[in-house]
Amino acid sequence: MRVTVLAALLGGLRAEEVAEDVWEELDVCPICGTGDRLSDVGELRAAEQGAVTAACLDCEYVFMRRRPSRAWFADFYAGSWDAAGRARSERDVQVRADDKVARFCADELGDRARVLDVGAGFGQQLLGFRERGHDVAGLEASAHRARYVRERLGIPCVEAPIEEAAGTFADRDLVFSHHVLEHVHDPVAAVKASAAMLAPGGRLYVAVPNLWHEFAPQTFHFVPHLSVFTLRSLRRLLARAGFRALRSEETVELQVLAVAGTAEGALSSEDAFEPRLGAWARTPFGPPGRHGLIWQKARAANELYESRTVSRGAPQIGAARAALAIAGALPPRPAAVWRRLTGRVALQSTRVLTLEVENSEPSLPVVVRYPGDRPPVWVK
């Protein structure tokens, strides 16, 4: 499929161009280590090539095969990333406890378990464990977030990415990462590093976004998410690190609680994966022709995004194009166009994202083409 971008409005995100000399490219699947069944799913192109999203058809693992380098991400996370979080960390704002992970793991933990959060953020999940009487600590790559956890919450927190944290903690009854693995360059190394901090018989918990609830146009552009998993690929990743699942749950996210041991049963890909992946990648862009795409985070617990594809010729497309041109200056306008296109009340009017595209050739990979020299990537 060839997709030409005619206009874009990124509510809540921003576009950046990445210089040609700071890209890296993978030719094997990071989980199984082979390139035999790699298939490109989405490409960003202008005069130069941008990000490329690929899938291992054996592992069911979807990842950014061509992506900005580690050095680029180090500068990004140290600089412009999380401006709102930096401001919050400087104010006297207390975060609220979230016991989602604690509830999921409760049946596998004894009293006063030693719990480590890898990628602790502002410590919401750690507070959930502490309120249940557990001994908690964190690991966090972000300096302002690690400092907040230490100074505002009074929880030990070491400032380091998981890939560089060897020997920082040991003998933990539970090590968990909540929406962290999708951000790391090497998820296998990250899981193995987390496992090294466990006591014998300790539990490992992972939560990540669910591929089937992600929106392909955003996945192809949003470089902070380097990986997108199905439940099968997440369990295969854990098996590669020597773990078997004790409990799994699949909703808009994937949650797995695991213990060291050999996985039971086959973990190879299902026959339906490849056609389902193709439909996931192509369908949001619509059939051949000109369309307006509009999406935002959903309120319903069983959905991640609400979206609509409006074809040229429909009475709404003129209003949609007008909204694309002026919505950035008039924040209420995205809400109005969302209601017009979907018949629903806009939930987060300033967070509506839109693309106007023209499509041809309904096949993979989906090639998203931009004018100019470099296609943009999207970041927060």
Q: Which amino acid is at 183?
A: H
Question: What are the φ/ψ torsions at residue 178 (nearest 5 degrees)?
Answer: -110, 105
E strand map for 210-242:
227-229
E strand map for the chain:
2-10, 14-16, 23-25, 38-45, 49-56, 61-68, 114-118, 135-140, 157-159, 172-178, 198-209, 227-229, 243-250, 253-260, 289-297, 305-311, 353-360, 366-369, 377-379
| pLDDT tens by residue, the chain, 380 residues | 999 998 888 888 999 999 999 999 999 999 999 999 999 999 999 999 999 999 999 999 999 999 999 999 988 888 878 877 777 666 667 899 999 999 999 999 999 999 999 999 999 999 999 999 999 999 999 999 999 999 999 999 999 999 888 889 999 999 999 999 999 999 999 999 999 999 999 999 999 999 999 999 999 999 999 999 999 999 999 999 999 999 999 999 999 999 999 865 555 566 799 999 999 999 999 989 988 898 888 888 889 998 888 876 544 444 444 444 433 333 334 455 445 544 544 434 456 788 889 998 778 999 999 999 999 999 98
Q: Residue 233: its pLDDT value, please?
A: 97
Q: Residue 163: its pLDDT value, please?
A: 86
- Which pTM was predicted? 0.89
Structure token digits, residue 9: 């409005």
Are 139 and 169 spatial neighbours (Cβ–Cβ below 8 Å)? yes
Structure token digits, residue 239: 């098996």
- Name the CATH superfamily housing domain 83-260: Vaccinia Virus protein VP39 (3.40.50.150)
Q: What is the number of residues in the chain?
A: 380
Per domain, the residue ranges of the chain are 2-78+271-379, 83-260
Structure token digits, residue 107: 């049946």
Q: Residue 132: its pLDDT value, please?
A: 97
| H/E run at residue 192 | helix 187-195
Structure token digits, residue 85: 């979080």
Distances (CA, A) of 154 to 89, 119, 308: 14, 17, 45
What letters, b where the CB count within 10 A reaches 16 and e where it falls short, cover 176-195? bbbebbbbbbebbebbbbbb
